[in-house]
Amino acid sequence: MPAPRARAFAQVDVFTQVALRGNPVAVVLDGEGLDDAAMQAFASWTQLSETTFVLPASAGARAQGADYQLRIFTPGGELPFAGHPTLGSCHAWLAHGGQPQSATQIVQECRKGLVTIVHQGQALAFAAPALTRSAPAPDLLAGVLQALGLQPGQVLAAEQLDNGPQWLGLLLDSPDTVLALDPDHARLKALAQKVGVAALYPAADDAGPALVRRSSREARAFAAAAMPARPAVQLEVRAFAAATGINEDPVTGSLNASLAQWLIAEGRLQAPYVANQGSCLGRDGWVHVHADDQGQLWVGGHAVGCIQGSVLL
């Protein structure tokens, strides 16, 4: 192995305006010369849900507008795409002096292909990659419900979702059901299935106790922090990823992109909307989803730099 050298490094908190309330991603801003084993070893060491490595775009991708290439690793393996690492790595790349080819967008090359990122005020948003959906196998669904402690009647809809990462998406009967889950993570790991659960909040005019309980929970969880004005939230989300070495991911861009495409296509939700994720872990992630005039869904949020320096790799 070549001798380690200092490489620019950042750690960015994503889907939050307040540091330590979102989902952190470790970003090695100079990944040239590292092989897959070295990248995986570092990602396993950080124990964050994702660690990324920025590389020059390949010649073919650069000709199509790519500004850089991103490799994305969990503690358990490489992902073809992931949402919060995309936004956090782009934030770190720009802060480190990255200059996009276009004045209006940044283009990331990853294993999934090219992903477009745009500014939304002080936030960033990525274009949701194409989604493939299918019905889950009955035996798998039954095993997941048992691991989550759910009864079939609490599940309004279930779908296998694949936009690079693969999730079993479950739409549950209420946000309270989502927030009360205490999964058997060992059983989920044995099933080798990542699971995303979500539930819709009632409309503002008939929200009733659900939003009262939500407000009380947030006041308790975040009373010590100076929080910005909170947006109205339409969807509560949790992501269980023991199969990749992380029991629960705080705030998950790829899952939220998949959920948006699925639920909007089935008429259960309309863009624009805001999803919340992470409160069961003491986080407070806000994921903003909107559609442009061409029907492309964009998944966005703020990012805050927390660590900047170098790492020996």
Q: Kindly list the catalytic residues.
A: 50
Helix (H, G, I), strand (E, B) or coil at 93: helix
Nearby residues of 173 by Cβ (< 8 Å), 6 or more positions away = 153, 154, 155, 156, 199
